[in-house]
């Protein structure tokens, strides 16, 4: 396959960029449908005039439906996307990017999707689609799956579907409620994943950030102890990787606390731990939830993070050497590979 693509690149150099652009157009419509031409042009950072010709061509070939509600993929359009799935990695250089990241980060499996989540909202949906696929592949009967919050994990939840295996699975929030939208909190996502798959779930009714005295009091609660016991038995951990300062702001850190975090060199956050570029823990929050030593014991740790702004955070957390799979995008991958060790 790679040899054939190299020949095509030499003989028809414009073919692969054209295929890439049209694949990205179809993929964007798939994730955002129904969507109008103006909104799609804004999403793809192009003009309506340029987009019109491409949309007309795809409509004429039967890959799109266009009506008053907007554009949607036809059955043929969906089939084209499905059939291209196995070619995309080689066709657009994503396989090479993934292999380079595997070597650099020492992670057994890296999957890179097209685009940059910082620039295009559909890319986060693509990360979620791939994340859902990977979860379905690794999940086993009777599994306990620890789930963090955040928009990347929410994108996975929206792409999950029922299966016989999931009926015996339990989703458990890996942490308490962060100061963010309720639909992005770990409790909500654990229940959403359970509802979409036919699994069961537990909830953790505690704040994410706690005063040490409150922490000790809540740790004595039977319901909290029960959930923590389940988290300690998690075979699968599904989590995002946060930028340290962004996460601290979401936790309503004071200006003084933010300055302290910046001065410590924190670049990434996961599970209430803040790490510097060397992967060293520079701050640990008093929080109830999955602890880093328990993450290391899990058999399958699936990390998901995209956008070039996450490159340093991804590199920092990778040094914990606890991930089995990293799902990221081109923006993060290219930025990360250009970053010095």
Domain ranges, ordered by start, for the chain: 2-83, 93-337
CATH fold for domain 93-337: Rossmann fold (3.40.50)
Please say if the pLDDT value at position 8 is more than 60: no
Residue 62 φ/ψ region, left for φ over 0, alpha for ψ in the -120 to 50 degree band, beta for the rest = left
**Measuring CA to CA, which residue among 194, 211, 212 is closest to residue 202?**
194
pLDDT of residue 250: 85
Please say if the pLDDT value at position 24 is more than 90: no
Q: What is the DSSP letter of 235?
A: S
CATH fold for domain 2-83: Arc Repressor Mutant, subunit A (1.10.10)
Task: State how far the alpha carbon of 193 is from the alpha carbons of 151, 170, 183, 202, 332, in Å.
Answer: 14, 10, 12, 11, 26
* Confidence class for position 44, pLDDT limits 50, 70, 90: confident
pLDDT of residue 126: 93
DSSP string over 21-54: HHHHHHHHHHHH-SB-HHHHHHHTT--HHHHHHH
86 versus 194: which is more confidently predicted?
194
pLDDT of residue 240: 95
What token pair was written down for 215? 């922490």
Q: Which residues of 205-233 are buried (b: 16+ CB within 10 A; e: fewer)?
A: ebbbbbeeeebeebeeeeebeebbebbee
* Confidence class for position 182, pLDDT limits 50, 70, 90: confident
pLDDT of residue 42: 87
Please say if the pLDDT value at position 290 is more than 80: yes
Q: Where in the chain does DSSP place strands (E)?
A: 64-67, 70-73, 109-113, 144-147, 170-173, 200-201, 236-240, 242-243, 266-270, 273-276, 281-284, 300-304, 325-329
pLDDT of residue 1: 53
- Which residues are paired to 304 by β-bridges? 240, 327
Q: For residues 319 and 336, give the distance between their C-alpha atoms in angstroms, rounded to a whole number.
A: 13
Q: For residues 190 and 153, give the distance between their C-alpha atoms in angstroms, rounded to a whole number.
A: 10
Q: Check if 2-83 and 93-337 are the same fold.
A: no
* Confidence class for position 7, pLDDT limits 50, 70, 90: low
Report the percentage of the chain scoring pLDDT > 70: 93
Task: State how far the alpha carbon of 65 is from the alpha carbons of 32, 36, 69, in Å.
Answer: 14, 11, 10
Strand 64-67 and strand 70-73: the pairing is antiparallel
Contact present, 328 and 304 (Cβ < 8 Å): yes
Which backbone phi and psi does 222 adopt, to 5 degrees? -55, -40
* Confidence class for position 2, pLDDT limits 50, 70, 90: low
Mean pLDDT of the chain: 89
Q: For residues 48 and 54, give the distance between their C-alpha atoms in angstroms, rounded to a whole number.
A: 10
Q: For residues 198 and 200, give the distance between their C-alpha atoms in angstroms, rounded to a whole number.
A: 7
* Confidence class for position 221, pLDDT limits 50, 70, 90: confident
Each residue's pLDDT tens digit, 73-92: 999 999 998 888 877 887 78
Each residue's pLDDT tens digit, 122-169: 899 999 999 999 999 999 999 999 999 999 999 999 999 999 999 999
In this structure, of 16-25, 189-198, 257-266, the range with the lowest mean pLDDT score is 16-25
| Average pLDDT of the residues in 241-246 | 94
Strand order, beta sheet including 236-240: 109-113, 325-329, 300-304, 236-240, 144-147, 170-173, 200-201
CB count within 10 Å of CB 99 equals 13
pLDDT of residue 84: 85
Each residue's pLDDT tens digit, 298-316: 999 999 999 999 999 999 9
pLDDT of residue 132: 97
DSSP string over 69-104: TEEEE-HHHHHHHHHHHHHHHHHTTHHHHHHHHHHH
């Amino acid at each position: 396959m790679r040899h054939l693509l190299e020949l095509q690149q030499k003989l028809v150099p414009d073919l692969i960029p054209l295929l890439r652009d049209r694949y990205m157009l179809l993929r964007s419509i798939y994730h955002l449908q129904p969507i109008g031409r103006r909104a799609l042009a804004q999403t793809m950072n192009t003009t309506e005039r340029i987009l019109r010709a491409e949309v007309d061509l795809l409509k004429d070939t039967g890959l799109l439906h266009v009506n008053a509600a907007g554009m949607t993929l036809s059955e043929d359009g969906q089939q084209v996307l499905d059939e291209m799935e196995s070619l995309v990695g080689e066709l657009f250089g994503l396989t090479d990017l993934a292999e380079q990241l595997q070597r650099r980060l020492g992670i057994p499996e890296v999957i890179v999707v097209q685009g940059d989540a910082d620039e295009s909202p559909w890319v986060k949906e693509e990360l979620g689609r791939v994340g859902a696929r990977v979860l379905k592949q690794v999940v086993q009967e009777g599994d306990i799956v620890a789930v963090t919050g955040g928009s990347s994990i929410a994108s996975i939840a929206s792409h999950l579907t029922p299966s016989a295996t999931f009926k015996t699975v339990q989703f458990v929030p890996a942490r308490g409620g962060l100061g963010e939208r309720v639909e992005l909190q770990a409790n909500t996502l654990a229940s959403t994943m359970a509802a979409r798959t036919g699994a069961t779930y537990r909830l953790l009714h505690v704040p994410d950030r706690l005063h040490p005295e409150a922490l000790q009091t809540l740790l004595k609660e039977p319901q909290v102890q029960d959930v923590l016991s389940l988290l300690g038995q998690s075979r699968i951990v599904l989590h995002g990787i946060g930028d340290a300062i962004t996460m601290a702001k979401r936790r309503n850190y004071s200006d003084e606390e933010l300055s302290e975090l910046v001065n410590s060199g924190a670049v990434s956050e996961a599970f209430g731990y803040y790490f510097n570029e060397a992967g060293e823990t520079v701050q640990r929050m008093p929080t109830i939830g999955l602890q880093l030593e328990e993450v290391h014991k899990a058999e399958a740790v699936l990390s998901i993070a995209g956008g070039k702004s996450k490159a340093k955070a991804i590199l920092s957390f990778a040094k914990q050497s606890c991930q089995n799979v990293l799902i990221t995008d081109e923006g993060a991958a290219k930025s990360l590979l250009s970053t010095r060790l």
